[in-house]
Structure 1
Amino acid sequence: MSYPDSSSFVSVEALYTRHNNWLRTWLRQKLGCPQQAADLAQDTFVRVLLRRDPITNSAPRALLSTIARGLVIDHWRRSALERAWLEALAQIPEAYYPSAEQQQITMQSLERIARLLDGLKPRSRNAFLLHQLAGLSYPEIAARLQVSTRTIERDVAAALLQCYRACYEER
């Protein structure tokens, strides 16, 4: 792999100085909240700092918007999970509320599960959820998704393998 000559590299400081306001505006349009936009802009530049590849001056906004777009998706996913979690908490008596620490652990677990499921193909994700959460058998899932039972077996096996790998990587 060949890199451009060193004169086309740009420092993170220069990137920040030239493009931070643009990125914050871009994020504000996506999120509708200047504070969240500022937070995600900072997170974007942290990701840039952690990159191993040198930063070139060829398309800095494309780089920033690609990183920021991923952070926005993560933000939306986290917000949806938080709303679902709060709705679930509202359904139980206050005496059974988990502690703040347990709530945080639960949210972190839900975020990991969501990331894991997002890494699956849609049919595999659906088959896995129908099997694990709805308790449907493979033939029932196959009929619902209009594929063969063998296909569902492979899809669920792939999802379980993904779960296993995720658990193994955490240890």
Structure 2
Amino acid sequence: MARVAGVLDARLVETMFREHSSWLGSWLSRQPWTVHASEDIVSDVFLSLMTLPNVGSVREPRAMMTTIAKRIIFDARRRKKLQNAYEDALLTIPEAVDVSPEERLIIVQALQKIDAVLSQLSPRARAAFLMSQIDGMSNKEIAQELNVSLSAVSKYMTQGFSAVYLARADI
């Protein structure tokens, strides 16, 4: 039965692609905030649709496609911002300890993976983890900043470290 549902979902996505891909591409090309070619985003949107567990339940395909497209664009912009920050930090490194292009790529990919993992945390857990690891703040300072208890900060830190630990195998 699962195989039949998968085939039906694939056919439904194919139909959605035929009916809506030109509209989505046109909509994307009019957006000032896109970071990639609209054709690339259209492809990514339909690949995302293929991974949905039940595409048949989508009642408003254009609304679903624009939501997915916005998420793809947001993620791409976040990754680009992270890469720019890393490249800016590299400019401050003396030439004697400069990093090779291959090493830079490995580091950027690792940072992007960590960023993706942390983006799955709640906003407070992500903020607490970054305040600790980037800003060097104590749990007490984080609790005051976020207006939460110390036990909440401890829970947030556990979530952050667990997420990074589980993702380390992919880095």
Q: Identify whether the pair has TM-score above 0.5, normalized to the shorter chain.
A: yes
CA RMSD of aligned residues (A): 3.3
1:141 has 2:139 as partner? no
Letter of the aligned partner of 1:123 in structure 2? R
CA-CA distance at 1:108 after TM superposition: 1.1
Identity %: 32
Instruction: Find the counterpart in structure 1 of residue 69 from structure 2.
Output: 68
Distance 2:115 2:28 in 1: 23
Instruction: Find the counterpart in structure 1 of residue 105 from structure 2.
Output: 104
Distance 1:62 1:142 in 2: 38
Instruction: Find the counterpart in structure 2 of residue 3 from structure 1.
Output: none
1:23 has 2:24 as partner? yes
What does residue range 28-39 of structure 1 map to in structure 2 within 5 Å?
Answer: 28-31=29-32, 36-39=37-40
CA gap of 1:134–1:33, structure 2 versus 1, over 3 A, is: closer
Q: Structure 2: which 5+ runs fail to align?
A: 1-7
CA contact 2:58–2:64 (8 Å) conserved in 1: no
Distance 1:132 1:30 in 2: 35
CA contact 1:40–1:71 (8 Å) conserved in 2: yes
Q: Structure 1: which 5+ runs fail to align?
A: 1-6
Listed one character per residue, the Cα deviations across residues 3-61 of structure 1 (whole Å, up to 9, x for unaligned) are: xxxx9x95434322221121112222334569621211122223334445344784221
What number of residue pairs does the alignment pair up?
168
Distance 1:135 1:35 in 2: 35
CA gap of 1:143–1:34, structure 2 versus 1, over 3 A, is: closer
CA-CA distance at 1:158 after TM superposition: 2.3
